[in-house]
Amino acid sequence: MTGKFVLLNTADEFPKHAHAIFYLDQDQRLVFRDQRQFGVMKLIESSRLSQTKGISELAPEPFGEEFTLEYLRSLLKRSHRSLKTLLLDQTKVLGLGNIYAAEALFRARINPFKPANELASRRVPQLYEAIREVLQFAVDNIRGSISLEEGFSYGAAFESFWQVYEREGEPCVKCGSKIRRATHGGRSTYWCPKCQRR
Ligand SMILES: [Zn+2]
């Protein structure tokens, strides 16, 4: 969550909270800093990766072959949870955090509080495309934004492209209505009350 990788050259001193160090070619060191100590590292054989706890429970990845429109449709049909909560569940859809779930729902013009099984079947493709689009956008834009020397800050790199996230009270980029925020399932949710009415 808050951990960072930092690339150090020969003369650089170790930063505070350096918990793991990888020694690279040309005397460089890749350091994992983790002030809050949420990070976990395990050393395991690659052949055992898929059976490893923490990996084996993970859901299909949105760019993988298993993440089909049919997969998403049947997933939504079986859940009474809100769409926002369901999309954050890493055992159902992998890789959407609080920011991307909010952004994907905004792109698809879907209300984040709607129970998953109440989303009309014809609207599922919109959500499916929005999930992939928002992640693809991030992947495309991440390349120029990462500075390993300074440490990569997730928030700072993408703030400029968020359309609803952390934009409470600002005008919606599509309709001009004020973006709203509510705490839902312990996390902040942002949405446009007009574009995402239903
Ligand atoms: Zn709007």
Distance in Å, CA 123 to ligand 1 centroid: 18
pLDDT at 101: 95
Greater confidence (155 vs 46) lies with 46
pLDDT at 6: 86
Mean pLDDT of 43-62: 90
Burial of residue 24 (CB within 10 Å: 0-12, 13-18, 19+) is exposed
CA distance 116 to 111: 10
Distance in Å, CA 136 to ligand 1 centroid: 22
Greater confidence (102 vs 156) lies with 102
Distance in Å, CA 109 to ligand 1 centroid: 8
Distance in Å, CA 71 to ligand 1 centroid: 29
Mean pLDDT of 67-75: 96
148: left (phi over 0), alpha (psi -120 to 50) or beta: alpha
The DSSP H or E segment spanning 154 is: helix 154-158
Distance in Å, CA 183 to ligand 1 centroid: 19
Distance in Å, CA 103 to ligand 1 centroid: 12
- Residue 103 confidence class, pLDDT cut points 50, 70, 90: very high
pTM, whole model, 2 decimals? 0.79
CA distance 157 to 71: 31
Mean pLDDT value across the chain: 89
Distance in Å, CA 138 to ligand 1 centroid: 22
Distance in Å, CA 191 to ligand 1 centroid: 8
- Residue 195 confidence class, pLDDT cut points 50, 70, 90: very high
117: left (phi over 0), alpha (psi -120 to 50) or beta: alpha
Mean pLDDT of 68-81: 97
